[in-house]
């Protein structure tokens, strides 16, 4: 049975560009920043990634929804995307793991979408003009004049200068045990993971290596971290402008001053960069997808990575420099994008801290970067050995 609604819908960009189609998912109005993602699979993980909060996702892959949705693949407790744009929505799913249609899931979480859009033309436009304010209007809301809809889109706040971590972080702390993720034996180490929009696979990857993970909310303090008995600290991915994360930057500086090993991904990479004294900036259209090529400078190997970020660290790609906050010593860019030479990783040489801009938990995506969790384990072991002497 075809569950798709078939009402008029329109996607409106702040520069006046308009794309018309039919409704998909919930019917009504939604506003957000229009961004595109190049992943050919993993739409359920994409929609449930908290880093997409307040963003309208454009899928470059044309056929979406053909494998349905299930209860095992979500990366959080809900869909976070502000809206969803696809070209060819599947009329019915066909997969042995499917439990519901994607359309039904979009309706369940109130995600307003649009189907039948020329997503190739839309993506080319966003690559030229950059990610921008946008809105999807369907049903009766699509009947408003173009000029009125453009004004509604323009009136929304920009993603730059926006602090969103509080909206997507966990409300209360919880523990992820190694035994629940296939690890046998007593936990090797204890770490604190600061949830700034963390995907569920991330503590899973830590726990399966023998780490007991205390997941703490975005506003955790150094005292909260120490109270868990943590031997190291992890900062997660998340949405928003890192320039607004003043409290988290100061927390990372406290962690570094305490000599605790630090590992950050995505937003956690940007926060480490700012803690070291580097600036961050907004990318023209960002990196989103599961096929982003990255150079590992230490090995010369190319990693195919899963990414979702619209901001980046402003640091020199070549050579080793003293951190602008000099007490943290030498630092170097460890990874960079082969598409546009954006900083994709930082490595501190005098303190046990490193980070990457991409998602090594790879849900969904390739597993080229899984070694980074092992690298964090090595840093924890080295710190413990040093403390024992």
Q: Is the pLDDT of residue 1 over 50?
A: no
pLDDT, residue 3, reads: 47
Higher pLDDT, 150 or 42: 150
**Would you place residue 23 in the very low, low, confident or very high pLDDT band (cuts 50, 70, 90)?**
very high
Q: Indicate which residue of 214, 309, 335, 359 is catalytic.
A: 359
For 309-329, the pLDDT digits (tens) are 999 999 999 999 999 999 999
Residue 134 pLDDT more than 50?
yes
What pLDDT shows up at residue 387?
79
Q: Is 177 a catalytic site residue?
A: no
Q: pLDDT tens digits for 343-379?
A: 999 999 999 999 999 998 866 667 787 889 999 999 9
Question: Is residue 382 pLDDT above 70, yes or no?
Answer: yes
Catalytic residue among 45, 105, 332, 361: 361
Active-site residue flag, 266: yes
pLDDT computed for residue 385 by the predictor:
86
pTM for the full predicted model: 0.94
Sign of CA dihedral 145, 148, 153, 156: negative
Nearest to 23, CA basis, from 103, 134, 138, 145: 138
Residue 39 has pLDDT above 80, yes or no: yes
- pLDDT recorded at residue 368: 80
Check 105, 266, 309, 335 and give the catalytic one. 266
Confidence of residue 6 (pLDDT cuts 50, 70, 90): confident
For 55-95, how does the pLDDT look when each residue is reduced to its tens digit (9 = 90+)? 999 999 999 999 999 999 889 999 999 999 999 999 899 99
359 an active-site residue?
A: yes
Q: What is the pLDDT of residue 342?
A: 98
pLDDT band at 192 (very low <50, low <70, confident <90, very high): very high
Q: Which tens digit of pLDDT belongs to each residue from 270-324?
A: 999 999 999 999 999 999 998 899 999 999 999 999 999 999 999 999 999 999 9
> What is the percent of the chain where pLDDT is above 90?
90
């Amino acid at each position: 049975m075809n569950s798709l609604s078939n009402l008029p819908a329109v996607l409106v960009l702040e520069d006046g560009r308009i794309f018309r189609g039919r409704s998909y998912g919930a019917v009504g109005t939604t506003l957000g920043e229009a961004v595109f993602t190049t992943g050919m699979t993993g739409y359920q993980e994409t929609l449930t990634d908290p880093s997409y909060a307040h963003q309208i996702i454009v899928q470059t892959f044309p056929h979406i929804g053909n494998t349905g949705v299930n209860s095992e693949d979500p990366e959080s407790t809900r869909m976070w995307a502000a809206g969803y744009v696809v070209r060819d929505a599947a009329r019915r799913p066909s997969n042995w793991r499917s439990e519901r249609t994607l359309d039904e899931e979009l309706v369940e979480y109130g995600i307003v979408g649009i189907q039948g859009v020329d997503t190739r033309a839309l993506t080319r436009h966003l690559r030229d003009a950059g990610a921008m304010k946008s809105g999807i209007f369907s049903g009766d809301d699509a009947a408003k004049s173009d000029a009125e809809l453009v004004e509604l889109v323009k009136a929304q706040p920009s993603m730059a200068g926006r602090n969103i971590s509080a909206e997507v972080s966990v409300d209360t702390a919880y523990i992820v045990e190694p035994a629940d993720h296939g690890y046998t034996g007593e936990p090797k180490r204890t770490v604190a993971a600061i949830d700034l929009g963390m995907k569920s696979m991330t503590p899973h990857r830590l726990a399966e290596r023998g780490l007991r993970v205390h997941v703490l909310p975005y506003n955790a303090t150094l005292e909260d971290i120490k109270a868990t008995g943590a031997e190291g600290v992890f900062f997660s991915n998340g949405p928003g402008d890192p320039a607004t994360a003043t409290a988290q930057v100061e927390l990372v500086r406290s962690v570094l001053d305490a000599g605790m090993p630090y590992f950050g991904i995505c937003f956690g990479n940007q926060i480490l960069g700012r803690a070291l004294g580097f600036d961050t900036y907004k990318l023209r259209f960002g990196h989103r997808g599961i096929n982003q090529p990255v150079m590992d400078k230490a090995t010369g190997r190319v990693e195919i990575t899963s990414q979702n970020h619209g901001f980046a660290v402003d640091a020199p790609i070549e050579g080793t420099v003293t951190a602008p906050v000099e007490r943290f010593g030498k630092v170097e860019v460890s990874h960079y994008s082969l598409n546009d030479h954006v900083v994709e990783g930082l490595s501190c040489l005098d303190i046990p801290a490193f980070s990457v801009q991409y998602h090594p938990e790879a849900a969904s995506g390739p597993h080229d970067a899984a070694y980074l969790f092992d690298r964090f384990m090595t840093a924890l072991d080295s710190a413990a050995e040093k403390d024992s002497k």
